Every structure is written in structure tokens, then in C-alpha cells.
Amino acid sequence: MSGSFESFLAMGGYAAYVWPSYAVFLLVLLADWLAPAFRRRRILRELRGRMARQSARERGKDGAAPFPPAP
Amino acid sequence: MNHAPLAPACAALLRRDLTLAWRQRGDIALPVLYALIVSTLFPFALGPDLALLQRIAGGAVLVTVLLAMLLALDAMFRSDIEDGSLEQLMLSPQPLAPMLGMKILAHWLTTALPLIVIAPLLASLLHLPVAVMPVLLLALLLATPLISLLGAVLVALTAGSRRSGMLLALMLLPLCVPVVIFAAGALAAAQQGLPWIAPIAWLGAALALAVVLAPLACAAALRIALDS
Amino acid sequence: MAKWIPLWLHKLSSPPTFYAFAGKVRPWAIALALILGVIALYGALVLAPPDYQQGDDYRIIFIHVPSAWMSLFIYAVMGVSAFIALVWRIKLAEVVAMESAPIGAAFTFITLVTGSLWGERMWGTWWTWDARLTSELVLLFLYLGVIGLYHSFEDRRQGARAAAFLAIIGIINVPIVHFSVQWWNTLHQGSTVNLFGKSHIATDMLWPLLTMMVATKAYYVASLCGRVRTDLLALEGGKDWVRKIAAAEKSR
């Protein structure tokens, strides 16, 4: 069994060409898949920050709290 | 309201652009100087071997001229965008496409024509056979306006953007490939004593198409890029 | 004819509706892509017999050829939605065109790298200047040009419209480049897969190839859904429906 697995890995002597090809294929698509997920997190975080600032400003307008409370 | 008919308006625009270019004569000399420098560097890099230089001369001159044009392309509409005269042009009652055609013509006359004039000098620096010289000039006469027209569309697209430069080169490369192939193909055929009329005819056909379509595309691109 | 189709399409092109729709499609598409991808990989790497001429090296085509198809297919999708975006000024079409570009560039890159690795052994050189390779390289430059132009504008919608125009210019340009390079030089082996005629490769090798093709298509749909959703959030940042999503994600 292990012999056949080794021969599978060896790819008839072309392992150096076959496996890098598949690795590039999978890695590039993985990067393509993950990029929008990170971007989405960043966009929503920035948006929440903007919303928090806005609501703080609106509260300030009512006279309840002129400045957002210090952290 | 009556306004100037198209022909005098085009003539006036051409005269204005040429006058502006003439007042900045130094800028006209820059691409020429660049092409001269690049051509003199080739023999130093490749060695003074006559046969080798002869073989690459045509292609080297062609690529040098195209790169020199790319250098100047960026500035095609820049000053007009900065001082707002391009927006004036877009608001003028005359159709935009022929007016832009005139601007492209003026740009070609001030940047490409000097390059074509010194091309024989560059070619003989690299020992291009004299018999091939007419083909080189013909190929340049057809290829440079093609590059100007195609480049103008891309310059118009980048008109509203923050930076261009390198981006323009990246965008122009795919459009350049066929032009270079056919121009260099004609030169190679002429150098081997083969008939060279077919690639020249292709270039001519492409130029005829581009003369009609590129100003229209340029106008559309400008409206997109400056639409705010 | 059914009148609900244009109505449905019109509704779908509104950002919040499409956001929800893409959210439903995405898991199914990625599941389909993963399942078919695993089956195709098993067929390609294990079941398919070694080629009698090329040995195991030919197994690269199981990813090389589907990627090449995808690079062209995605460019076509990008071109069509760029055209729709310019003519009808539909925001969703702009987003689809611009978010297709990175996926297309990824597949083009894969095609070039795997092709080079295959060619290194087949032709003894990793790069030759033949029509198909050169067209693929030009395609990569076109994708990069579209992405670069899109990001060089302050105003995203303006950038999307300019880049859409460039994408349409590119559609005209690719066949011209292909034809001119073919005129210039031809070295490549002929096309081996013809969907509409008799195929020259064995069934054992054909089915993993076609399965992988469907898997990459499904992957494209899934990735596009995710990217369009993200971009819609960025574009519509001030709208109520996006704020609700942002607030809901915080409480989680």
C-alpha cells in the first residue's frame, strides 16, 4: 500500500511538475476565496466605527453628552 | 445662436495646439533625445558586431520609437485638463469626436513626426541596410498614428484618475502587440528580400479603421472619465 | 411570454435583493464546486491512466485546460456586464464586471504557471512565443489593466465605468492579438478537446476534465457572489440595509 502511495506521489518521475501545478491552482484559488472575507470584515468594522461616531454626535446635539466619553 | 462651422473650428483648435507646442519647444525635443540615447545604448550592450546590429536594427528602432511615444503620450490631454479647456471643448457646440481627432493629430505632429524624421539616423547608427530604409519609414508612418490614436483612447480613460504613467503602459501594451508585430514583420520581410506589402497593408487597414473609430471612442471615454 | 422574468431581473438588480440572493446561492455553489472538484481531482490523479506518450506529466491538463477556459469565460462575462453597465447604467452590472476581474486574473495566472510547468517538460522550455501563450499573457495584462484603472479613480463608480470601457476594448483586442501572433509564429500542438466534434482523448481522461470544468464554473459563481456581496456593502455603506447588517454582525 505504501509503495503504491509512494509511486502516486512520484507521479512517474514528474512530481516536480505535477504537484507544483496543483499547489498553485489550490493556493491561488484559496487566496481568491479569502480576500473578500477579510475585506468584508474590514468594511463592516469601519462602518460600525462610523455609525458609533455618528450616534455619539447625535447624542451630543441633544445636549446629553457634548463629547463621547473618554475610554 | 449661431456658432462656428466644424471645419474652421477644427483648424483653430489645430492651430492653437501647435502654437502651444511650439512655445514649449523643449518638450518636443525630449522624446527625440530619449530615442537617440536608447539607440546609442544598443551597440554598447550588444557589441559592435555588424551582422548582429543589422539583424536587430529594424526592430530596435521600432521599439525605441514606440517607447519614446509612450513617454509623451501621458501629456496628451494633461495641460488641457488642468486648465479646464478640455471641459470647455466638451461643452462646445461642435461634435467632440472630430475636435479630439484634431488634438490627436496635433499631438502626433509634435511627438511622432520628429521621431520619424530622425528614424533614418537611428537606423543607420545600427547599420540598417539602406534598401530597407523606405520600408522602415513607411511602417513608422502607419504605426505611429495608430499608436497615437489607440493611446489617446486610453489617455482619455485615465483623465479623471489620480495617477497614470505606469498604468498607461500596462493598458497600452496589449493594444501595441499587433502593431509591433505587423510593423516589425514588414521590416523583417524586407530585410530578407521577401514581399513586405501584406503586413503594411494590414497596418494601413488598421489605421483607416482607427482614424474613424478612435476619435469616437476617445470622446466616449472622456465623457465617462470626466463625468461627475 | 412570461412577464415575470424581466420583473424578477429588475428586482434582482437592486442591491439589497441581490445581496440576499447571492447569500443564498453562495453556499450551494461552493459545495457543488468542492464536491465536483474532489471527484475530478480523484479522477485526474488516480483513476486516469498515464498517457502513453507523456507519462504522468499530462495530468497537469486537468487544471490547466479548465483554468484556460475559465480565463476566457470570465472575460466574456466581464465584457457583457461591462456593456450592460455602460449602456443601462446598472450599478449591479458594474460591480459584477469589476469583481469578475480579480477572479479572471487568478485563473489566467494559474493557466500561465501550469502551462509553463507543462511546457518545461513537453517542449523543453517554459515559455515559447506562440499564439495561445501570448494571447493568454495579453489577457493577463488586460485583466491587470482593468483592475488598475478601476482602483486609480477616487470615485468608485466612475472608475468602474472607465474600466468597463477598457474591458470592452479588450474584447475586440484579444482576437486581433491571437490572429496576429498566429501570423507571426506557430509552434503549439493543435487543440485536443473539441466539445462539438469527435474528441481525441480517451473517456477516462475526458470525464475528469469536464467535471473540473463544471467545478471551476461553480467556484466562479461562488467567489463572484462573495465578492459582489462585499463590494455592495462598501458601495452602499450609507444605506439602512447595510447598517442593519453591520449592527447585526456586531451583536453576534
DSSP per position, C105-172: HHHHHHHHHHHHHHHHHHTSSS----HHHHHHHHHHHHHHHHHHHHHT-SSHHHHHHHHHHHHHHHHH
Q: Using one digit for the tens of pLDDT, what is the confidence trace for C47-84?
A: 777 766 666 777 888 888 899 999 999 999 999 999 99
Rg over CA atoms, chain A: 27
Whose cell is 492651430? That residue is B15
Q: Which residues does residue C55 pair with via DSSP β-bridges, in sequence order?
A: C51
Angle in degrees, 0-180, between the axes of helices B133-157 and B197-226, rounded to the nearest 10? 20
Cα separation, C211 vs C47, whole angstroms:
14
Considering CB atoms only, which of C103, C114, C246 is closest to A25? C114
Domain boundaries, chain B: 6-226
C187 interface with A at CB cutoff 8 Å = no
A43, C237: Cβ pair inside 8 Å? yes
Helix locations, chain B, DSSP H: 6-23, 25-46, 50-73, 78-82, 85-91, 96-107, 113-125, 133-157, 166-191, 197-226
Contact pairs from chain A to chain C, CB under 8 Å? 91
C184: Cα separation from own chain's centroid = 28
| Amino acid letter, C33 | A
- C abuts A (3+ Cβ pairs < 8 Å): yes
Cα separation, C106 vs A47, whole angstroms:
29
In order of C21, C25, C26, C65, C216, the CA distances from C31 in angstroms are 16, 10, 8, 22, 12
Cα separation, C10 vs C232, whole angstroms:
17
Residues whose CB is less than 8 angstroms from the CB of residue C146 and which lie 6 or more positions away in sequence, other chains included: C78, C98, C101, C163, C166, C167, C170
Chain B: residue whose CA lies nearest to C168: B217
Asked whether the beta carbons of A14 and C122 are under 8 A apart, the reply is: no
C2 to chain A, minimum CA–CA distance in Å?
Answer: 36
Whose cell is 493629430? That residue is B105
State if pTM tops 0.90: no
Query: pLDDT tens string for chain B (228 positions)?
Result: 467 788 888 888 888 888 888 888 888 888 899 999 998 898 888 888 888 888 888 889 999 999 999 888 888 888 888 888 888 888 888 888 888 999 999 999 999 999 999 999 998 888 888 888 889 999 999 999 999 999 999 998 888 777 667 888 888 888 888 898 888 888 888 888 888 888 888 899 999 999 999 999 999 988 888 875
Cα separation, C138 vs C141, whole angstroms:
5
Domain count within chain C = 1
- Expressed as residue numbers, the domain containing C86 is 63-232
